[in-house]
Amino acid sequence: SKSYSMENPSLIHRKIVVCGKVQGVWLRKSAREKALEFNVNGWVCNRPDGSVYLEAVGLPQQVEQLHQWCHLGSPQAKVTEVRSESGLLKGFKGFEIRY
């Protein structure tokens, strides 16, 4: 998997919160597969409030693809809301599921 140089000015970092029936429905695993498919680095985790949280770094088009996918989620998920905001660029290698 690619690791990006932080000198690349076109990279963006988004913090994404996915709400709804999104835990226990393979959302994190599916998000990781999609992130790798779209060449997005970062991580994903379940939050205590029942939402799923992602940090995503990549080229704008690739991060946007992952963001759009979050509105669908995994087949068993029922997404009710997706919120996102820009973050400060960080260097992530690959895309990991955090527990």
Nearest one of 68, 77, 89, 87 to 10, comparing CA atoms: 89
Q: Are 73 and 22 in contact (CB under 8 A)?
A: yes
Among candidate residues 14, 28, 32, 41, the one labeled active-site is: 28
Among candidate residues 32, 39, 41, 46, the one labeled active-site is: 46
Is residue 39 flagged as an active site residue? no
Is residue 14 flagged as an active site residue? no
Residues belonging to the active site:
28, 46
